[in-house]
Amino acid sequence: MPITKATLADVAELNILINSAYRGEESKKGWTTETDLVGGIRIDEPMLIDYLNNDAITILKYTSTDGNIIGTVYLEVKGDKLYLGMFSVSPALQNGGVGRALIEEAEVIAKQLGLHTISMTVIRSRKELVGWYERRGYAFTGEIQPFHDHGRFGAPKEPIELIVMEKTV
């Protein structure tokens, strides 16, 4: 299976992939872009290094047959739930099953850890993305959170709310 845990050796490639999936002109090749909603970068190498050095966090990578990382997802144990975030697939390769494989592997890991709920936040106005998660069994909990105002994940171009979605596994 092409899904394995990312390591510090993957930081530069992960940084490029994640930013290309969320922001900038490259992201517009896919359907998950946030470039019209949020400016700036999504992640940087020091933050990725911090994540990979945190025992509560796992970053999965999906590697193509030629050895390139084409998808990734961030998983963090938060209490009795597994938080799923920074879900990224190369924009040119979206709708090819990479995202589905990564989310299924996240569910396997949740079960291995004895966690029965996967939680995530999604930009409320991203109806097509919310629908994609709903088709995979995730549901809106009713909880709404503000977009991160510390600038760590970019600068909103308009007011943004995050909805919390969960799935029991």
The pairing of strands 69-78 and 57-63 is antiparallel
Q: Report the alpha-carbon angle 148-150-152, nearest 5.
A: 85
Query: Which pLDDT score is estimated for 92?
Result: 86
Rounded Cα distance between 98 and 82, Å, is: 20
The Cβ-side half-sphere exposure at 116, using a 13 Å CA radius, reads 0
Rounded Cα distance between 40 and 142, Å, is: 29
**Which tens digit of pLDDT belongs to each residue from 30-87?**
666 776 777 778 899 999 999 999 999 999 999 999 999 999 999 999 999 999 999 9
Under DSSP, is residue 17 helix (H, G, I), strand (E, B) or coil? Answer: helix
Query: Which pLDDT score is estimated for 150?
Result: 62
- Straight-line distance from the first to the last Cα atom of the chain, in angstroms, rounded to the nearest whole number: 21
Query: Which pLDDT score is estimated for 1?
Result: 52
What domains appear along the chain, each with residue ranges and CATH number? 3-168 (3.40.630.30)
Bigger pLDDT: 158 or 11? 11
pTM here is 0.90
Rounded Cα distance between 117 and 96, Å, is: 26
Query: Which pLDDT score is estimated for 159?
Result: 82
Q: Taking residues 87-108, report their average pLDDT.
A: 92
**DSSP symbols for 85-121:** EEEEE-GGGTTSSHHHHHHHHHHHHHHHTT--EEEEE
Query: Which pLDDT score is estimated for 36?
Result: 73
Q: Taking residues 95-105, report their average pLDDT.
A: 93
Query: Which pLDDT score is estimated for 97?
Result: 92
**Which tens digit of pLDDT belongs to each residue from 107-127?**
999 999 999 999 999 989 889
Query: Which pLDDT score is estimated for 94?
Result: 86
Query: Which pLDDT score is estimated for 126?
Result: 86
Q: What are the Cα distances from residue 145, in Å, to 92, 149, 165?
A: 30, 11, 11
